[in-house]
């Protein structure tokens, strides 16, 4: 079977590489010529644990090109994995998906199945099929199937090779059979449904997870007010199998390229149909406030940030990725700079991407120690292992005033209590 994948971002490249690992021959297509050149040299253009090794191991089955005509012409299956970012009004921007659909229509000379992996609003697969049908250059049969992606950045390779489920939204039996063949060697439950339900499974899953995070964050905020400990609360809740113990970590809110845009897009879609998704709206609102939690906490210690030396640990929206999309730092660091603070920042993989956005106003450090030196206050935004394993003694040794605001609850309160630190985290008592 000849497989092509449109888009070599976190979803497209991981999909292509993992399909190659399962023995398929895969052509990865991207409009970004730089990315294509890098991948041809066996280098992954994104940071994702294990991806480059797997890519190199499967180079004989992997092809990289920006020539979409060649890649799509005689493909049996074409996956679409391009971005669907947020528009200013919260709806999904489908420009890139429709561009690929047009490119497919102009190129295919064989019957094929077009598989939409990008997260798209309910009904989009129908529109993609109509668009392709109306623009086909050759007299061939093109079926469109929805196959949403559930990987998480930071564990994308593992999540794809050992996926929790494969969701197939199909309107014709043959497309379903072709996709079952593609995934024949994957050991995962397969859910076959129609296209709209498959599209909805993706949004409902992401929005439910976002809601779970916003819920525990609100409980954390109340814990702080009334003197309870959110970690103990989450631990106690997690034993109930109806609740589960995952995704109950309180913090400064979710970020990344999915939860923020997928909550807003579903809320927008519901509104468009005159329905108010109140739970999803609440998740969005809570998250917006939560992102500013540490800045608000800092006012307890300093009236203004002006002239302060601020140490920032972690720039990315979560550990294990170089992705900054919707990271809380993107809101917080500009506020610090605007207030006149001197910001020093450390991140093991996110610095280069952050520099592209903020080349001035921040001193980037290559170690946590350098970042903390002479700091008046420290903000922890990402729970990298290097931060969690950092020797707590060093905060008071290196900082001018050892005040640590931890947005990811990296440390045990008992360990912190043994140190000379002011430690203010999320949903737990402040250690002074
Ligand atoms: P991304 O921004 O990392 O990558 C998109 C890629 O598509 C870019 O390399 C871009 O150059 C390329 N592209 C744009 N137009 C193209 C075209 N016409 N032909 C070929 N390539 C083209 O995006 P991503 O994070 O991988 O997300 C892709 C989709 O998957 C989105 O809909 C997203 O919501 C969904 N998704 C993402 C994740 C995630 O964790 N990132 C998880 C599940 C689902």
- Counting from 1 in the atom list of ligand 1, the atom nearest the Cα of 103 is 18
Residues near 119 by beta carbon (within 8 Å), at least 6 away in sequence: 84, 92, 148, 149, 202, 203, 206, 258, 262, 265
16 and 152 housed in the same domain: yes
Same domain? 89 vs 222:
no
Picking from 290, 324, 356, the residue at the C-terminal end of a domain is 290
Asked if the ipTM is above 0.95, the reply is: yes
Pairing between strand 112-116 and 166-169? Answer: unpaired
Q: What is the pLDDT of residues 93-147, one digit of tens each?
A: 999 999 999 999 999 999 999 999 999 999 999 999 999 999 999 999 999 999 9
Ligand 1 geometric centre to CA of 110 (Å) = 25
Range of the domain at 105: 2-193
* Active site amino acids: 258
Which CATH number belongs to the domain containing residue 110 in this structure?
3.40.50.720
Same domain, 303 and 252: no
Are residues 234 and 362 both part of a single domain? Answer: no
Task: Tell me how far apart the alpha carbons of residues 238 and 82 are, in angstroms, rounded to a whole number.
Answer: 36
- Residue 48 and residue 181 share a domain: yes
Residues 76, 225: one domain?
no
Q: In this structure, are 109 and 242 located in the same domain?
A: no
Domain annotation covers residue 432: no
Best residue for ligand 1 mutational test, from 114, 149, 158, 163 (most atoms within 8 Å of Cβ): 149
Q: How far apart are CA 311 and CA 294, in angstroms?
A: 13
3-state secondary structure 17-79: HHHHHCCCEEEEECCCHHHHHHHHCCCCCCCCCCHHHHHHHCHHHEEEECCHHHHHHCCCEEE
Q: Please give the distance, rounded to the nearest whole angstrom, from the Cα atom of residue 228 to the centre of ligand 1.
A: 41
Looking at residue 74, what is its pLDDT?
97
Q: 230 C-alpha vs ligand 1 centroid, how far in Å?
A: 35
Our count of domains for the chain comes to 3
Q: What is the pLDDT along the chain (432 residues), one digit of tens a residue?
A: 999 999 999 999 999 999 999 999 999 999 999 999 999 999 999 999 999 999 999 999 999 999 999 999 999 999 999 999 999 999 999 999 999 999 999 999 999 999 999 999 999 999 999 999 999 999 999 999 999 999 999 999 999 999 999 999 999 999 999 999 999 999 999 999 999 999 999 999 999 999 999 999 999 999 999 999 999 999 999 999 999 999 999 999 999 989 999 999 999 999 999 999 999 999 999 999 999 999 999 999 999 999 999 999 999 999 999 999 999 999 999 999 999 999 999 999 999 999 999 888 899 999 999 999 999 999 999 999 999 999 999 999 999 999 999 999 999 999 999 999 999 999 999 999
Q: Considering only CA atoms, which residue is closest to atom 15 of ligand 1? A: 96
In a domain, 429, yes or no: no
The predicted pLDDT at position 236 comes to 98
Query: What phi and psi values does residue 299 have, to the nearest 5 degrees?
Result: -65, -20
Counted residue by residue, the chain has a size of 432
What percent of the residues of the chain are helix, what percent strand, and what percent coil, each to the nearest 5?
45, 15, 40
Q: Residue 46's CB: how many other CB atoms inside 10 A?
A: 19
Domain membership flag for residue 312: yes
Token pair belonging to 8: 């070599």
Taking the centre of ligand 1 as the mean of its atom positions, its distance from the CA of residue 10, in whole angstroms, is 7
* Residues flanking ligand 1, CB < 6 Å: 6-12, 29-32, 35, 81-84, 96, 99-100, 103, 118-119, 149, 151, 153, 257-258
Q: Do 183 and 264 fall within a single domain?
A: no
244 conformational bin, left if phi > 0, alpha if psi -120 to 50, beta if neither = left
374 and 246, same structural domain? no
CATH at residue 219: 1.10.1040.10
19 with 41, same domain: the answer is yes
pLDDT tens, residue by residue, 153-198? 999 999 999 999 999 999 999 999 999 999 999 999 999 999 999 9
Within a domain: residue 134?
yes
Shared domain check, 139 and 74: yes
pLDDT at res. 359:
84
Q: Is residue 224 part of a domain?
A: yes
């Amino acid at each position: 079977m000849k497989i092509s994948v449109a888009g070599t971002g976190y979803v497209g490249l991981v999909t292509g590489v993992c399909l190659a690992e399962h023995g398929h021959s895969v052509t990865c297509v991207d409009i970004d010529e730089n990315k294509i050149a890098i991948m041809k040299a066996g280098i992954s253009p994104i940071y994702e644990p294990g991806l480059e090794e797997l890519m190199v191991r499967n180079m004989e089955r992997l092809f990289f090109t920006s020539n979409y005509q060649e890649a799509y012409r005689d493909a049996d299956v074409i996956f679409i994995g391009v971005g669907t970012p947020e528009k200013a009004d919260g709806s999904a921007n489908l420009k890139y998906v429709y561009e690929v659909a047009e490119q497919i229509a102009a190129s295919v000379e064989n019957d094929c199945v077009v598989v939409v992996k990008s997260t798209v609003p309910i009904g989009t697969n129908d529109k993609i099929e109509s668009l392709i049908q109306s623009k086909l250059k050759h007299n061939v049969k093109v079926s469109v199937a929805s196959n949403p992606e559930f990987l998480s950045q930071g564990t994308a390779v593992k999540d794809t090779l050992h996926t929790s489920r494969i969701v197939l939204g199909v309107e014709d039996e043959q497309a379903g059979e072709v996709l079952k063949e593609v995934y024949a060697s994957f050991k995962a439950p397969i859910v076959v449904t129609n296209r709209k339900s498959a599209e909805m499974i993706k949004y409902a899953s992401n929005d439910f997870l976002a809601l779970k995070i916003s819920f525990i964050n609100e409980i954390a905020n109340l814990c702080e007010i009334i003197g309870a400990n959110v970690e103990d609360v989450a631990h106690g809740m997690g034993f109930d199998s109806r609740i589960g113990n995952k995704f109950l970590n309180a913090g400064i809110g979710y970020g990344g390229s999915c939860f923020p845009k997928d909550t807003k897009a579903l809320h927008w879609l519901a509104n468009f149909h005159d329905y108010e998704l109140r739970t999803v709206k609440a998740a969005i609102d809570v998250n917006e406030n939560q992102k500013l939690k540490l800045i608000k906490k800092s006012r307890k210690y300093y009236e203004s940030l002006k002239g302060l030396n601020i140490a920032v640990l972690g720039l990315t929206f979560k550990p294990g990725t170089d992705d900054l999309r919707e990271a809380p730092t993107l809101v917080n660091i500009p506020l610090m700079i605007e207030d006149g603070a001197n910001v020093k920042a450390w991140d093991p993989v996110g610095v280069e991407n952050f520099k592209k956005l903020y080349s001035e106003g921040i001193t980037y450090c290559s170690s946590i120690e350098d970042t903390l030196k002479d700091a008046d206050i420290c903000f922890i935004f990402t729970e990298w292992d290097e931060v969690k394993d950092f020797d707590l003694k060093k905060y008071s040794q290196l900082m001018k005033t050892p005040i640590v605001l931890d947005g990811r609850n990296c440390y045990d309160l008992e360990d912190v209590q043994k140190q000379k630190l002011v430690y203010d985290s999320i949903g737990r008592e402040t250690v002074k």
